[in-house]
Amino acid sequence: MADLHCVTKFSMLGAEWGGVPARLFLELAPPAEDVTHVMVWAEYGFSSNLRLADFAAERTIFATHKGGEPLTAEHGFPVRLIVPQLYAWKGPKWVRGVEYMTADRRGFWEERGYHNLGDPWREQRYSYQEEPGDGPEL
């Protein structure tokens, strides 16, 4: 069970997702000691940067199903990343790969003005809201 928060102020609470925990990915392909962030790459040039701690969070999942049904193409088939503690753009649809990084680098939406961290409880929607240390220079 995990929430999905859209930057447009829409939230889907308590959705049932099925798939593979991101933690399993980290166990099967452990990052080097100096890795601090990941870039999740997706179809159509989309990407999203995440702090390693957010990627490794207990409820972060590579989702293949929602509500017991396979994801539709519109919603990310065959796999999308769900990061319940962050806005939905931090969990891209149509995932194709994960890159380990030793420094933060902005992803697709972050390069276009979205907040680098994307915490919905702090309403971190746009880059102009960033405070020092929230991310790399624009």
pLDDT of residue 11: 72
* Length in residues, the chain: 138
Per-residue pLDDT tens digits for 78-89: 999 999 999 999
Compute the distance between CA of residue 133 and CA of residue 98 in angstroms, rounded to an integer.
Answer: 23
Low-confidence stretches of the chain (pLDDT beneath 50): none
> pTM of the entire structure?
0.91
pLDDT of residue 6: 73
Per-residue pLDDT tens digits for 99-125: 999 999 999 999 999 999 999 989 999
Per CATH, the homologous superfamily of domain 2-129 is Oxidoreductase, molybdopterin-binding domain (3.90.420.10)
Decide: 54 and 86 in contact? Cβ < 8 Å: yes
pLDDT of residue 14: 72
Question: Residue 25: exposed, middle, or buried by beta-carbon count in 10 A (0-12, 13-18, 19+)?
Answer: middle
